[in-house]
Structure 1
Amino acid sequence: MLWNLHRKTLAASLAVLLTSVSAGASAADVKAATDTGPANNSQIINVTLVMRLHNQEQLENYIQQTVTPGNANYHRFLSTSEFAGKYGATDAEVAQVQNFLKQNGLSGTVLANRMAIRTSGTMAQFSAAFKTPIHTFTSKDTGRSFHRPTQSLVLPNELTNSLLFVSGLNNEHKYASHAIKSVESRQAAAGTKALARSTLTAPSSSNGNPTATGTPGEFTVGDVANMYNINPLYAQGVNGQGSTIAIVTLSNFYPSDAETYWNGIGLITKPNRITQIHVDGGGAFDGGSGETSLDVEQSGGLAPFADVLVYDAPNAGNGFTDAFMQAVVDNKADTISTSWGLPEIFNFAALNVPGASNTDTTDVGDLQTFHQILLEAAVQGQSTFAASGDSGAYDTVRDLGVGTGPGTYNAPLTVDSPASDPYITAAGGTTVPFTYRFHHNGVAGPYASITKEQIWGWDYIQNYFDKNFGKGLIDLFSVGGGGGVSVYWQTPAYQWFTNGIRRSEKKQTLTYIDPVAGAQTQLVLPGNFHGRNVPDLALNADPETGYIVVSTVDGGVITGYGGTSFVAPQLNGISALLTQSTGHRVGLWNPQVYFLQDAFGYGKWSAFNDIREGDNWFYKGKNGYEPGAGIGTLNVTNLALLLSVF
């Protein structure tokens, strides 16, 4: 299972990309915004200084050894202190940063992994320390105000080699949760009835789960257990006992939501199992709170006796990376998931001119910060999962929209981050078999059915409306399971021998139609790039075959909810079951599952189900891997058996 990245090529790329430490002016540069002048100098902000890891090639080699059966270091995961000693910043490097902060009237706390130093101070202090003005901007798209530096940071020479990224000076980032409502729920909110369900069916195992409903749109974790053969593990007493799950999220929630959900479906769980950890002051009770609730309900429902840690942080600036890093530094969780993300290209700050042959990116600090965090998680044996997004193969559409008129963007093929990082397992989406019937203006269309599990893409609904009611009545582009090819991370070795791995498509650009200047190409994406393919695995995510959620903030019990937001925590819960069944942490899934698929393929005893139908608006289902459902869905009991053998 050779698995190292194309190290030399990647290192050369990073040498160009990371020419200077930047403040994180990323999504703001591809989203139109107006500079409204200097920010409030007296405002207190939290800033994280991220240190470069040492011996990263050695670290990557060691991670591979921990998941290679027969290797002397197989499952010899490191503690946080061991990681810090081998790969973290040195005493001298930490002292230099602390001295720099002290000279500017600041002080910092060094995290146990020696990868980051957290500090806080006024906007004026940080502006003076890094010799850059910090201004307030207003988004032309949303009207939201945010602050960010107006030029690159200036650092003392002694810090330029040891400091990777200064996170928190820019709070423009607003990550999206990857949860989405069904078509009928959307139109019901608008006062129209879109869908009338017939008797619907879903695949089930021979041993039905008593907490399942069998009703698409009202599925529970019991239905997930039926679909993906988890019940035999439950019958053996595997319920997550002794394992710990972590959820990284950007909204607060009421733990009672999860208890209400589990009790409501008749699921027996370990009592008092949820612990909240508020990072940087914690997340707000807002539109993302339902995301946090469903993450806990799904992961904790599939592993009902696992402990659950919920790390929440503000949805801006360094909140996301701080929360994820805290979950890894604490090293209490065996498995971690997040259902939040942004299009990968939003981390590319420098804007290209039309005709450029490659991306010229000088700010990839968030990508590199997440990468270091995920490397630490992997070497500590923590399995990590991220939702791949809900905009199909066109990840920018949900954030930017799409159009051809003034004030609109086009839709390049793009993937979501952090799911695109090679050291996290990207969770894609499918639609399970069901029968449906839509209405328009009181007229019922014909019944139609999906007979085989397929890649989730709502073009099947779009086509239904176009065919039966007329074109132009509904626009669902590009709702579906995220997937595609990274244009930053190169193809990891675990995908080298996998049938179906793709390169990036040519002639992909991010273009904005300015009301005055006309079409302006803001990013030219590299074509034919040997990039990391996502997702890795998939489970049912289509809201039409979706789930019940309990969320107090959203009004209580919700049905017809879906998105890859469900798949990431479901894999998280499954990973907790595997931790118990194997008797140890599983570690990074990717090299292990690709090896099993490459070696054994599909069939009765395989851990995977091949998805050969459907599409995510670009990548179609076929034999083997495809950037829609990855290597397929899971047979969890078979996966547990194979992992115990190897």
Structure 2
Amino acid sequence: MKKFAALAALGVLATACSHGGAALPPAGPAGLAPGSSGAPSTMGARTLRPKSITAPAGWAATATGALALANASDLGQLDRGKTVEVTLALQMRNADAVKSAIASGQRMSRDAFVAQYAPSSSQVSAAVGYLQSQGFSNVQAAPNNMLVTASAGAATVEKAFNTSLHAFSVNGKSYFSNTQPAYVPTSLGGNVVAVLGLTNFPGLQVHPTTRPISGAQPSVFDGNGNPQTTACTKNVNTTTGTPVCPRFYDPAAFSIAYDVAGTPPATNTQLAIFTEGDVGTAISDFRSNETNFGMPYVGINVLHVGTPSADTSGNTEWTLDMTYSSGMAYNLSQIDLYNAPSLSFTDLVRAINRWASDDIAPVMNASVGGCEVFPYESGDMLAGDMVLVEAAAQGQTLFASTGDTGAYCGAAGVPPNGGVGGAPLIEWPAASPYAVAVGGTDLFSNVDGTYLGEDAWQSGGGGLSQFEYSPYWESPAQPVGTTPAGLTFRGAPDIAYDAGIETGALLWQGGTEYITGGTSLASPMAAGVYARMQSAHGNALGFAAPLLYRVFGNSTPQQIAGPPETELIGPFHDILQGTNGLYTALPKYDYTTGLGSIDVARLSAALH
């Protein structure tokens, strides 16, 4: 019932979909699920696969439940000829073994993963054969065998998966969604675990907040829009009398504050970014930021995952992601834009799968997210987590923003960028145990730009998942008593960087300079920093999350800095002040800033 209360709070109607097929509980060091007494770990946030659905005779249940859109006008059955692109997620093999490999820090190639853990060629053939027999066209299996995509008319899709598709109107815009769960023939049961693409509702949100620089506060920038180097006083450190400087930052200023310069540039590392729509203007604005901030030119490769769309609504986001991931990494070998046609969860899963299957860029940024309940119900969470398991096994790391609605879910009817309301849930993909969730802070620096202290950003996403288990590397760090007895659920964020608009980043768009903030700023900074460390270590560091928690656990608190009060624990700035509306910053790990922000030079040295 907890899940349905969350659904109701978010204005989502879930019908006949009390399934348990969702995320992958991460294995412990010995390959066992957290809290297990010796039984093999299973796949699914609650169970191996949906068990509370009684499938009709001849059919098998999948993780794709019904997701009728609340607060929407149901226009009835979808046009029979409407083309719908579906993606079948196939069950990976030997899941416990690959999770144990991740837990032990092993890395493998894409070919090795496919040979041992990806769905087999016979699984792919069975799925492809069924789709073809039902009249689907453009049937294509991903090179890593994880997904099979195909197209057909709505009537064909309904018949093939024993479901129902309806048209909806939401705020004057048209969408479709399945109003019944999706099933597969019993011959495919245990093979096809989710049917994706049965809704085209854009469940993902982009997070950046922007303001014109003129009239913005604090006004501590020079005539060129760069941070002042002279005294700036909003508060004063009562211990030392040092001015506390809330200032705007460019990539060079962030590099000083977070001690980046001591780590060599990321000249040997490619970095991937999830984007959507027509990114031409975003790339042009990125070039302006390179020039205005004195950054080196970095080549960009746009990889379309699906049919390109003309949407430009996310251009601020993509410009921000390119500028601050590249600015922190400095001199990347290349930026790869994995460009989706929409902001649906399914298109995100397909883009992440392409990145994992390509196995070229060890770091990816996704400054998008949506309330975790949506991908749980649609099956995108299960499919996406399996893909992220592959990426982690190959030594790749996805950095994902936790959102800008504090401890509450960003969903329809919940205002972005600091809105409070809805259910206390977290956003996916940041909720995935196999991603690094990046939250937000307010960053304060000394007059010379060096680090002074941080507090938790009031709108930074963070809290406990209702649908994902905590990975073994995170669960020991979580505050005692914050999860149900005998269970550990995924907490977010893992780390945090500057996100506050009053201590935000400078960004050029269309020839005009703006101030921007949000976890959309924090996440690409974290991705750029890790790309820089990867390059310094020969791209051999692997999946970042276990490394971060290991270093934190092996570090000793050193001294309190600030204000705001911040304790240095090894390379981490443990943030001790602030709240995100429900959770408060505390010593060590907390649900506002995770382990804290990172002193890059110290962490890079600790990883030797």
The reply to whether TM is greater than 0.5 is: yes
Match of 1:277 in 2: 303
TM-superposed deviation, 1:305? 2.0
Letter aligned with residue 366 of structure 2: T
Letter aligned with residue 109 of structure 1: Q
Q: Which has the higher mean CA deviation after the structures are superposed, 556-565 or 301-310?
A: 556-565
- Out of 472, 482, 492, the residue aligned to residue 503 of structure 1 is 482
Q: C-alpha offsets along residues 343-397 of structure 1, whole Å, 9 cap, x if unaligned?
A: 112345xxxxxxxxxxxxxx3511111110110000111121100110111124x
- Out of 375, 383, 393, the residue aligned to residue 397 of structure 2 is 383
Quick one: distance in 1 between partners of 2:434 and 2:573?
Answer: 23
Quick one: distance in 2 between partners of 1:32 and 1:17?
Answer: 27
Task: Decide whether aligned partners of structure 1 residues 301 and 115 sit closer, same or farther in structure 2, where only a CA change above 3 A counts.
Answer: same
Tell me the SS of whatever aligns to 1:155. strand
Match of 1:226 in 2: 256
Tell me the SS of whatever aligns to 2:331. coil
Letter aligned with residue 607 of structure 2: L
1:399 aligns with 2:412: yes
1:316 aligns with 2:357: no
1:217–1:548 CA contact under 8 A, matched in 2: no
Tell me the SS of whatever aligns to 2:575. coil
Task: Decide whether aligned partners of structure 1 residues 434 and 25 sit closer, same or farther in structure 2, where only a CA change above 3 A counts.
Answer: farther
TM-superposed deviation, 1:567? 1.4
Q: C-alpha offsets along residues 300-355 of structure 1, whole Å, 9 cap, x if unaligned?
A: 1222321100011122362111111111111111111101111112345xxxxxxx
Quick one: distance in 1 between partners of 2:314 and 2:427?
Answer: 18
1:24–1:166 CA contact under 8 A, matched in 2: no
Q: C-alpha offsets along residues 100-154 of structure 1, whole Å, 9 cap, x if unaligned?
A: 1121122421111111111122223212222333210123xx3322112221223
Tell me the SS of whatever aligns to 1:493. coil
Quick one: distance in 1 between partners of 2:193 and 2:478?
Answer: 36
Q: C-alpha offsets along residues 237-274 of structure 1, whole Å, 9 cap, x if unaligned?
A: x211111100012343232221110111112234xx10
Match of 2:514 in 1: 559
Map of 1:166-315 to 2, 5 A cutoff? 166-181=195-210, 196-199=217-220, 218-233=248-263, 238-254=264-280, 255-270=283-298, 273-306=299-332, 307-313=334-340, 314-315=342-343
Match of 1:145 in 2: 174
Match of 1:165 in 2: 194
Q: C-alpha offsets along residues 51-74 of structure 1, whole Å, 9 cap, x if unaligned?
A: 011111111001122x2xxxxx4x
1:50 aligns with 2:89: yes
Match of 1:136 in 2: 167
1:43–1:122 CA contact under 8 A, matched in 2: yes
TM-superposed deviation, 1:287? 1.9
- Out of 86, 89, 108, the residue aligned to residue 78 of structure 1 is 108
1:14 aligns with 2:15: no
Letter aligned with residue 197 of structure 1: P
Map of 1:346-385 to 2, 5 A cutoff? 346-348=374-376, 363=377, 365-385=379-399
Match of 2:22 in 1: none
Quick one: distance in 2 between partners of 1:579 and 1:181?
Answer: 31
Match of 1:351 in 2: none
Match of 2:581 in 1: 617
Map of 1:324-339 to 2, 5 A cutoff? 324-339=352-367
Match of 1:464 in 2: none
Q: Which has the higher mean CA deviation after the structures are superposed, 593-602 or 633-642?
A: 593-602
Q: C-alpha offsets along residues 516-574 of structure 1, whole Å, 9 cap, x if unaligned?
A: xxxxxxxxxx899631111000111111111122344xxx4342210111111111111
1:426 aligns with 2:437: yes
Aligned residues: 528
Quick one: distance in 1 between partners of 2:201 and 2:118?
Answer: 29
Match of 2:552 in 1: 597
Match of 1:117 in 2: 148
Task: Decide whether aligned partners of structure 1 residues 370 and 588 sit closer, same or farther in structure 2, where only a CA change above 3 A counts.
Answer: same
1:56–1:87 CA contact under 8 A, matched in 2: yes
Task: Decide whether aligned partners of structure 1 residues 346 and 99 sit closer, same or farther in structure 2, where only a CA change above 3 A counts.
Answer: closer
1:584 aligns with 2:568: no
Tell me the SS of whatever aligns to 2:412. helix
Tell me the SS of whatever aligns to 2:506. strand
Letter aligned with residue 81 of structure 1: D
TM-superposed deviation, 1:499? 5.8
Match of 1:62 in 2: 101
TM-superposed deviation, 1:34? 2.4
Match of 2:74 in 1: 35
Task: Decide whether aligned partners of structure 1 residues 529 and 137 sit closer, same or farther in structure 2, where only a CA change above 3 A counts.
Answer: farther
Match of 1:456 in 2: 457
2:65–2:180 CA contact under 8 A, matched in 1: no
Quick one: distance in 1 between partners of 2:607 and 2:172?
Answer: 50
Tell me the SS of whatever aligns to 2:323. helix
1:170–1:317 CA contact under 8 A, matched in 2: no
Letter aligned with residue 390 of structure 2: E
1:533 aligns with 2:491: yes
Tell me the SS of whatever aligns to 2:404. coil
Task: Decide whether aligned partners of structure 1 residues 605 and 456 sit closer, same or farther in structure 2, where only a CA change above 3 A counts.
Answer: closer
Match of 2:118 in 1: 88
- Out of 406, 411, 418, the residue aligned to residue 422 of structure 2 is 411
